[in-house]
Chain A
Amino acid sequence: MLLLKTIFRHEWKQLTQQRWMWISLLAFVLISVLSLVTGRRSVQTRLTQIDSIHTAYNRDYAAVLKKFTDTSTAKAKTDAKNAGMPVMINFRLPQPAIKTPATLSPLATGMMDILPWYQQIRYVKNFNEAAVVPVSNPLVLFAGSFDYSFVLIYLLPLLIISWCYAVFDSEKNAGTIRLLAVQSGKPETIFRLKLLFRAVLLAAVVVLLNIAGFVVCSGLQDTNWMAYGWWMLLSLLYLLFWFSLCRLFVAFRKSGIATALYLITSWLALLLVIPSLCNTYMQAKYPLPLQDEIAAYRRHQSEEIWNSAPKLLADSFNKNNPQYAASIDEAKDTVKLSDRYVAGYYDLLERRMNRVLQPLQQQMQTRNTALQKLLAWNPASFTQGNLAGLAGTNLAAYDFYSVKADSFQKRWQAFLYPYHLADQLLKPEQFNQFPQFSYQDPSLDVAHLRRSIILLSLFSLLFLILSNRADRYFRFI
């Protein structure tokens, strides 16, 4: 305990006199604060957009309801008559399906700026080609944009490396190792404590930054203590992982330059090279069609279906949607541009598109799962993935949202079609029965988080055991 106190006191004194260490720490803190500000601004903007969408919807909703009672002019009278037409409601009041940011989204914006977060749901599905284009850049895929999680995953290791690489070398160059050994009897312990001091100090900085991040998040969204806890644990274990790695390389007793090179190589490998190689391999193994091919297919199918005989489309629709059989009217349905003809057109187009898109999405899912599995052994990748997962901004969260939005589109269709196909009008009081889209991020994948925690701990433990072995093998003097 006395030795620990002595080394910590000495290290603090040394630290106060080493300007570059303060500068690097200050730079890290400033970048972190900047990332928190950026993340906050992104989510704040998103929340404002969401608020604006809701306001616009409520305004439109009120305007449509008003039309029922407005008989001030001849045109208004006509509008009032048509106000309850399902096709008009579908046109005037597309239902918003919004992926609201999760509590921790300001800390890890992930796919927030890349994937769709808002859809206007109508009773026919709008195929948005952009949504089916896979994200293939591994940096984008896992790191997303500049945010606090990026700072933790990419920049924190660099700070740790810069603080640790010369721990042995500086004493060697100063010529103090012999005296340290004679006075303490335990030079290895001294170096461990020197690293521990740095680890404790940086851990304190990370804890403070995390707390600052949580305060930022709480100011925008509801508090989520569970997510905060996991975030804190993951970030501290990630810090421990890098310190353990530094400890191992320092134990090899190489020169400061050599140690720094080993550590930077590890950083490059874990954060850039391995994810890129894995991604390249996956792209070769699971090639996906280009966006243009999908768009061309859609155009081709659209044209072909549109030119089909009305009866054919109506029959196809009736066969696939027996729940609307009550409103079948052969004479009316077989006329071009009849409601059932148009419904049949969209129904068939959707089926044909799904025939192509579903295997593609399945393939993308398989590819992403395989990539995740491959990277599940890379602490940098899985920690990044977990942080984005906690923030509800990873691929899985957006896939989840997409499924929810699709399901809501079916509910909206199921609500309006019975009126639409039977040529019935909706009454104002039926507006209260509109299905509502409510989004909640998938619950935390605790098993996955636990696995990551265990892996980070095991890797750290392994490095520490190896470095203790190395201490015995590589002598100080």
Chain B
Amino acid sequence: MTNALEAAQLAKNYNNHIALHPLELQIPPGQIFCLLGQNGAGKTTTINLFLGFIEPSSGQALINGVNVAKNTDITRQAVAYIPEVVHLYGNLTGVENLDFFNRLAGFRFSPKELKAFLLKAGLQEEAHEKKLGGYSKGMRQKVGIAIALAKNASVILMDEPTSGLDPKATLEFNAICRELSDQGKTILMATHDIFNATSLGHRIGIMRDGHLKHIVDASGITAEGLQQLYFESIG
């Protein structure tokens, strides 16, 4: 079976700085893979390479077996993205933002369907028609999730999506991620949250200085064990 996400000797250099050493990684469909690491460890670089925002210095980033660098337009159709802070248009409502980004992806939904996506993402109904400028970070994040849900992408890339969310919002977010995983969606999530990674991820990778130092099965490790391994890995 083709891996949903695959890094084949994927590397990235910026002048003399190596942001990502040759990376080997395979993530099968339906799996949630959490990437842990300090700032500058290479997590965001890995995600940017899969998104096609930057070109690899060597190796390949593959989505559903398709080389991202050479087929960015195609691979982006299969990808949804939730950044650390979902920036949308503050002068438009949640529904209008969702509608616009869906149309960009080539989908058209009725207002009722759009609201259903927002509800599914956990955004309370009374906020749907309010301007995004008045939303909290968590509410914006939910609109971001709704955009990902509506796109029905097979791969979802998340860059520290729970950073700054309150515990309840994090729990709600995790529940949605699990549901997506159950539907066969693949999630690659960069995070600093060790406990969240163990509770949500199927596998966890620890990165340091552009190297993927460890990959562990979440079912075989506790949060404390992962924490210990993490600190050992980052020195």
Interface positions of A (Cβ within 8 A of B): 2-3, 6, 9-10, 13-14, 17-18, 174-176, 178-186, 190, 475-477
From known contacts A174-B87, A175-B85, A477-B54, infer whether A182 and B106 are also in contact, taking CB-CB under 8 Å: no
Given contacts A179-B147, A181-B76, A185-B77, A17 and B91 within 8 Å (CB-CB)? yes
> Quick check: B83 and A183 within 8 Å, CB to CB?
no
A3 touching B92, Cβ below 8 Å:
no
Contacts of B48 in A (CB 8 A): 477
B104 beta carbon closer than 8 Å to chain A: yes
Across-interface contacts of B90 in A (CB, < 8 A): 174
Given the interface contacts A17-B91, A174-B89, A185-B73, does A179 sit within 8 Å of B53 by beta carbon? no
Q: In the complex, which residues 164-198 of chain B have their Cβ closer than 8 Å to any Cβ of chain A?
A: none
Residue among A17, A176, A185 making CB contact with B72, cutoff 8 Å: A185
CA separation between A18 and B91, bound complex, in Å? Answer: 9
Using a Cβ cutoff of 8 Å, how many contacts connect chains A and B? 68
Partner of B89, one of A6, A14, A185: A14
CB interface residues, B 122-179, toward A, < 8 Å? 144, 147, 151
* In contact, B92 and A183 (Cβ under 8 angstroms): no
Contact flag A176-B87 (CB < 8 Å), given A6-B104, A182-B81: yes
Chain A residues with Cβ below 8 Å from B53 are: 178, 181, 475-477
* Contacting residues, chain A, for B144 (C-beta < 8 A): 179
In the bound complex, do residue B96 and residue A182 qualify as a contact, i.e. CB atoms below 8 Å apart?
no
Minimum CB distance partner of A3 in chain B: B104
Q: What mask results when residues 202 to 215 of chain B are scored 1 for a CB within 8 Å of chain A, else 0?
A: 00000000000000
CB distance from A198 to the nearest CB of B (A): 17
Check if A176 sits within 8 Å of B83, measured CB to CB.
no
A-B complex: 6 closest residue pairs judged by Cβ atoms: A175-B87, A6-B103, A185-B76, A183-B104, A184-B104, A182-B81
8 A-B residue contacts at CB 8 Å?
A: A2-B103, A6-B103, A10-B100, A14-B92, A178-B83, A181-B52, A182-B80, A186-B73
In the complex, what residues of B have CB within 8 A of residue A175's CB?
A: 83, 85, 87
Pick the residue among B52, B54, B72, B101 that contacts A179 (CB under 8 A).
B101
The answer on a CB contact under 8 Å between B87 and A183 is no
**Taking the complex as formed, is B51 at the interface, i.e. its CB lies under 8 A from any CB of chain A?**
yes
Distance of B19 from chain A, by nearest CB (Å): 14
Q: Is B79 an interface residue (CB 8 A)?
A: yes
CA distance A17 to B90 in the complex (A): 11
- Which residue on chain A has the smallest CB distance to residue B108? A2
Known: A176-B87, A179-B83. A2 touches B106 (CB 8 A): yes
Query: Which residue of chain B lies nearest to A477 when distances are taken between CB atoms in the complex?
Result: B53
Taking the nearest CB of chain A, how far is it from the CB of B122, in angstroms? 19
Tell me if B119 counts as interface (CB < 8 A to partner A). Answer: no
When C-beta atoms are compared, the residue in chain A nearest to B153 turns out to be A182
Q: Which residue of A lies closest to B53 (CB)?
A: A477
Q: Which residues of A contact B66 (CB under 8 A)?
A: none
A183 contacts which of B52, B73, B85, B105 (Cβ < 8 Å)?
B105
Cα–Cα distance between A73 and B48 once the two chains are bound (Å) = 108
In the assembled complex, B88 has its CB within 8 A of some CB on chain A: yes
Q: CA A184 – CA B81 in complex, angstroms? A: 12
B55 CB to nearest chain A CB (Å):
9
Find the residue from A14, A181, A182 having the highest chain B CB count within 10 A. Answer: A182
Q: Are A183 and B89 in contact (CB under 8 A)?
A: no
Beyond A6-B104, A182-B79, 7 additional contacts (C-beta under 8 Å) are A3-B104, A14-B89, A178-B81, A181-B52, A181-B76, A184-B104, A477-B54
**List of B residues within 8 angstroms of A184 by Cβ:** 104-105
Chain B residue contacts of A17, Cβ below 8 A: 91
Q: Which residue of B lies closest to A17 (CB)?
A: B91
Give bound CA distance, A25 to B160, whole Å: 42
As a 0/1 sequence over residues 41 to 54 of chain B, the CB contacts with chain A under 8 angstroms (1 = contact) are 00000001001111
| CB–CB B101/A183 < 8 A | yes
Cβ of B104 and Cβ of A180 under 8 Å apart?
yes
Q: How far is the CB of B5 from chain A (nearest CB, A)?
A: 15
Residues from chain B with a CB closer than 8 A to the CB of A178 are 51, 53, 81, 83
**A183 contacts B86, C-beta separation under 8 Å:** no
Which residues of chain B are near A185, meaning CB under 8 Å? 72-73, 76-77
